[in-house]
């Protein structure tokens, strides 16, 4: 498990192993647009301010993934204990 931190409120949200980041955000009342939920469409693209995403989508290019400044929370996860999001 890891946590995502909302930069605007400082809120920490736990993401359990069997739950997507998008689902954890939705359960916490955070409004995030999603569509395909498979890492294909890019609808849920979210900026990452710190931490290292574990990219599992097919939307971002390798260069974009390596930059670690955005990720797709419908399918991607985190390699670091906390991922700080621009939300």
Where along the sequence are the contacts to ligand FES (CB under 6 A)? 34-37, 39-44, 57, 59, 72, 74
End-to-end CA distance of the chain: 20
Q: Which is nearer to ligand FES, 13 or 60 (CB)?
A: 60
Least distance from C-beta 64 to ligand FES, angstroms? Answer: 13
Least distance from C-beta 57 to ligand FES, angstroms? Answer: 6
**50 three-state secondary structure:** strand
Contact between 35 and 41 under an 8 Å Cβ cutoff? The reply is yes
Q: Which is nearer to ligand FES, 26 or 42 (CB)?
A: 42
Strands (E), the chain: 2-6, 12-15, 46-50, 53-54, 70-71, 77-78, 82-85
Q: Which is nearer to ligand FES, 19 or 41 (CB)?
A: 41
């Amino acid at each position: 498990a890891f946590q995502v931190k909302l930069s605007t409120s400082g809120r920490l949200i736990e993401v359990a192993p069997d739950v997507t980041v998008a689902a954890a955000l939705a359960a916490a009342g955070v409004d995030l647009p999603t569509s395909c939920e498979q890492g294909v469409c890019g609808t849920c693209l979210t900026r990452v301010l710190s931490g290292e995403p574990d990219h599992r989508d097919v939307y971002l290019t390798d260069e974009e993934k390596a930059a670690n400044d955005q990720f797709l929370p419908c399918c991607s996860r985190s390699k670091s204990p906390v991922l700080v999001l621009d939300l």
